[in-house]
A and B are shown apart, each in its own frame.
Chain A
Amino acid sequence: MSEELVVRDLKKWFPRRSGFFSKKEYVRAVDGVSFEIEKGKVLCLAGESGCGKTTTGRVILRLIEPTDGHVFLHGVDIFSLGKNELRRMRPEMQMIFQDPYESLDPRMDVFSILAEPLEVNNVVTGYANLRDRVHKVLDDVRLVPIEEFIRRYPHELSGGQRQRVAIARALMLNPRFMVADEPVSMLDASTRTEILNLLTDLREKYNLTFLYITHDLAQARYVGDQLMIMYLGKVVERGPMEDVIRDPIHPYTKALISNVPVPDPSAERERIFIEGETPTPIDLPEGCRFCPRCTEGEALCEDEEPELRKVGADRWVACCVA
């Protein structure tokens, strides 16, 4: 077993001051998250809005600086790198953003968007080489016929085609690790599958390791090997995808899965009804963070903050009662 990515006790606290003289508070967006991803595997990070999943992805790539913790990418301690070392490391770790309408420069055509990372990093020189590389990657993301697309601007592309360009851009430098943050949630259902299939193919072809961030558990089921659920900055459950989906252990995971709508009107399902909404991670409850909304909570949950512990073969849960 070779671990491509190791994350240890990752924290990102955003300072928040409500008034000039008031005490400094922190939004504890990510609050002690640890996990590993094996080489060539896809870990799906899921949870509701505000649970810290996007922040986790960004901190791992050092798009924002961490508050505490360690991230090792094939053994290299990302957080200890200096500015120049980090820049040399960048090609190996890339990101696909959620909104292909925002993440592509509207004034650059497809060729310029894809050539830019090569030029900036000086990996390929000369127009002919540049062109070959761009063509190869466009072929890989199946934006064909290439001649038809290469001189187009983002506004001349459909949502699915734009996301292909964004994926191609991330692939230009032959990365080994990729963070995909809700890469299909802006797309229509009929085009989503194409992009998901594409990511699956590319993962094999480029031998990529993925952190796939999504709020949609049904979608996660189709892309991931492992599933990790976050709630208020903490991991509540982690394990092999099908095991967690079919037999969730944490009360929050159970509730989340039972509330996912199913495209079948005859499906008989038992819903776990949960009151209220996720609070902001500022005034966190003592003890278990999910306790105030939990259906299975007991007295001890209010005092004791549960650690993520191993409960079976590769199954991890942070709950006092489960």
Chain B
Amino acid sequence: MSAVTAARPSAGRWTALGAGGTVALAFVVVLAAAVAVPWLLAPVSPLAVSPADGFAPPSPAHPFGADESGRDVLVRIVHGARSSVGIGLAATALGAGLGLVIGFASGLGPRWLDSALGRVIEVLFALPTLVLALLLVAVLGSGTGPSVLAIGLATAPGYARILRSRVRTVARGDYVAYARLEGVGRARVLLRHIVPNTLWPLVATATLGIGQAVVWVAALSFLGLGQEPPSPEWGAMLGAGRVYISTAWWMTVFPGLAIVSTATALTVLGRRLSGATA
């Protein structure tokens, strides 16, 4: 080849955020606040009933309107972040954690283990995620714990797949081979090269994954299999408000917007991260 490989401009780790990424990051920060300290952002109880305000449309008193029992929708959304995002976070931690273990075992272990795990992962992946989650819910029941378990276990095959592929690529890569050639011990190669090159991309993927998990958690509640009313979880709010959609649209639209915005922000952030850490 005649061409000299062109030098790329120096790419710092965090400079790739861009306009979209910054907005997404800001949103996620607000979200994190809502999860951690909702009472600071909305010092009213999300369960406080106020029949006089039943079905109040959006107004200065109730920016997002009120539901059938007069509870302020915005307040409920802020407090609901803890359920929606919290469960999504927990489920992602479970799924990614399991995926990590399986991925490493598969990518670094003996070949028979890799083959066996690979087959199992493919099989589990043969079921669409929500279907698998519903199956698990049928076993475990509904509620917070089962939701975390169901979504976590249902997404674990996906993470395992990604991690297995990544670990194998890195472990078979040239820089690992070179280090081994230099006589560097296996443990040191693992810590020095394999783990950092696998873990950081996982952070990016998991960020994306939290967004998707939030959607699935809400889906479970919507189907009546997750959180039940009067929980301010966003999916449950959507499920409850569906009946009144023609008369009180704000009960459905705003919780849904919360879900969409969260998922979008996390996806954008996850992509920027993967661009910076890949």
Are A and B bound to each other? no
